[in-house]
Amino acid sequence: MHDEMRTLLEMMQSRVMEALGEIPDARLHWKPSPASTSAAEIVWHMANTERRLAACVRGEDPRSLNADAGTRDWIEAAGVGTADTSAVPRDRAGLEAALANARQETLATLERVPPERLPEPGPPFGGQPRSRAFYAHWIVIHQSYHVGQLFTLGALIRGGM
């Protein structure tokens, strides 16, 4: 399970970096409409969500982290301009560092949580009991959703849509 998970995480991380690479530095904070999220906000949300999901894999309460940007409420508020975005890095290096730090936390979590403990329950999700393995896989699923957004923003910036 751990090797499979690492492979999936590495594959998705490369897609995230590829998608982020489609966004010019000067457009990282650009929004196609006032009710949209910028690439920087999406990446910040992805990194914080990964940290929250890694906490769930460890069996910890994700609310104990300083990672509010990893919630659905935050990303929706960012889309309408009501979220506190002051912590969102202003440059590519800061965004890439946030992603790398979140990934290091996830990999350290997988080192500490042996495969036989992944079927154990983690915090409920959507009111349903979920395993620690669910949260590990959800990192990849969540990132795949937002990678699509980043590629779409890149195409909009280039005028390809």
Q: Show the domain range for 7.
A: 2-158
Residue 117 burial (CB count, 10 A):
14
Which CATH number covers residue 102? 1.20.120.450
Q: Looking at the 3D structure of the chain, how many domains does it have? A: 1
Residues 6+ apart with CB under 8 A from 138: 53, 125
Summarised one tens digit per residue, pLDDT across range 78-116 is 999 999 999 999 999 999 999 999 999 999 999 999 999
The pLDDT of residue 4 is 87
Total-model pTM: 0.94
